[in-house]
Structures are given as structure tokens and as C-alpha cells.
Amino acid sequence: MADLIVALDVNDEKRLNDLASALEGQPVWLKFGLEALLAFGYGVIERHSARGFKVFADVKFHDIPNTVGAASRVLTRTGAALFNVHAAGGAAMCAQAREQSEREAAALGRPRPLSVGVTILTSLGPEEVRSVGYEGTPGEAALRLAKVARQGNLDGVVCSVHEAAAVKAACGQDFLTVCPGIRPAGADVQDQKRIATPRGAVEAGADFLVVGRPITGAPDPAAACAAILEQMHGRGPRRA
């Protein structure tokens, strides 16, 4: 069954605490990305893990293999349950992320964090994908990058819902798909381009749905979150 990850893209302590409290007790993971990690420091992962949340550290590492491997070791100490690197860093870089996080976890006597590769950002449409140098459609580029992540022994990829089935067909059904770009029917699309509804994402085989602003920007984030969980589990609208 797919899990819901709520992206807490905030930089204000009160807002962070209000949102975490609103989500406490719901079966969701939390995601901290660049904004929150820069505002609160990496301790935010540790604090929320200690509170019982599973945390996705959306660090998007992209550097030489040695640097990413070392960073992955340090990140593992925070207790993050999942983290990511850009698959475009290459298979050797992905392999270091996986290997070094696994080693550090073993040294700490903890389960290793899952590691996944970002393929193509869900905010990029076909023109932009071409303009940054990738050949073919966003789907084709994402699939090539998924194969790089697989070769680097990562657990899966971050991709759009539209690529989830093809990624699994090419890399194996156990290869995880973490899918942002989720918008409930009728919600504001904002800067996302390759989107799907919560139900559509589950039907496409996504393992994790990443949802930020439709929850964090809602007047009642707890209710918005509960509504998305309901849609994921089959009682909501099927199409945007």
C-alpha cells in the first residue's frame, strides 16, 4: 500500500510546529527539503524522528562520488528513513550514497535509510527538459535516469506518476517510486507540470506520494491530509 509523505517546505518555527502537531497521529511521513533544512538545521530530522515520524531527507545530493558518499554517512546519523541524490550524478555516485549510508547505519546498529535517485523534476515540462540538455520526452529521460539509479544500487527513484509504471517495468516491481506532483482534483497546480491525483498515483503503482502545498497551504492541514489519505485508499475523486 502506498504511503503519503507530507513535504514541510517551511522556514518558520511556529509554522513547523503547528503543522507537525496537526499531522501527528496520521499515518504519514514528513519530508524536509532545502528550505526547512537550511532554516532549522539537520537536527530537525532527528527531532521529528524521535517524535515518531518517519522522515524523508530531501537533500538531493549531486557531487563527486566521494563527496556524496561522505555526506550520506553524515546524513545517516540523523536517523532519516529515506534520502535522495540526483541520479544525473551517475551510477558511481549513486553507489556511494547507498554503500556509505549502509556502512554508517551498520556502525550505529540501526536500519539503513532507503536511498532514491531524483530523475526529472516534476516541475519541468518537455521544453525545459530539452533546454537543460536531456534528449527525448521527460518520460524517456526519467527512464534513462532510473536505470542509472538502479545500476548504482539505489532503492528506487523520485519520478512523476506518469513514469511510475515504466520505471517498475524496466527496473523491477520492488524498485521504489516516490512521486511528487500530486494534486487533489480541483487543487491549484502551482509550479508543478507533470501532475496526477492521489488516486491516480496509487493506481499507477506509486509507492510514496509526496504532497506539500495542498496540505501545508490548506486552512485545515489535518483535514486536507485526511482527505488525501481517503482519496488514496479509494473513496475520493479519480481524476483532476
Give 57 or 158: the residue with its C-beta nearer to ligand C5P. 158
- Locate cell 563527496: which residue? 67
CB-based contact 211:7 (threshold 8 Å)? yes
Helix (H, G, I), strand (E, B) or coil at 20: helix
Q: Where are the beta strands (DSSP E) in 76-216?
A: 82-86, 114-118, 156-158, 176-179, 208-211
Smallest gap, in angstroms, from Cβ of residue 136 to ligand C5P?
17
CB atoms within 10 A of CB 55: 25
Tell me whether residue 67 or residue 123 sits nearer to ligand C5P (CB atom): 123
| Active-site residue set | 60
Nearer to ligand C5P, 16 or 104 (CB): 16
- Whole-number Cα distances in Å, 147 to 35, 56, 141, 143, 152: 29, 22, 10, 6, 9
Tell me the closest approach of the beta carbon of residue 149 to ligand C5P, in angstroms.
Answer: 13
Q: How far is the CB of 158 from ligand C5P (least distance, A)?
A: 5
Contact 239, 200 (CB under 8 A): yes
Q: Are strands 114-118 and 82-86 parallel, antiparallel or unpaired?
A: parallel
Choice between 97 and 104, CB closer to ligand C5P: 97
Output 71 or 179, the one with its CB closest to ligand C5P.
179
Per the listing, cell 549513486 goes with 94
For residue 196, the tally of other CB atoms under 10 A from its CB is 24
> Minimum CB separation from ligand C5P for residue 123, in Å?
6
Q: Which three cell numbers stand for residue 68?
A: 556524496
- Cell numbers at 78, concatenated: 540523523
What residue is closest to ligand C5P based on CB? Answer: 212
Binding site for ligand C5P (CB under 6 A): 7, 9, 33, 58, 118, 121-122, 158, 180-181, 190, 192, 210-213
Cβ of residue 203: shortest distance to ligand C5P, in angstroms? 19
Which residues, in sequence order, are bridge partners of residue 85?
61, 117
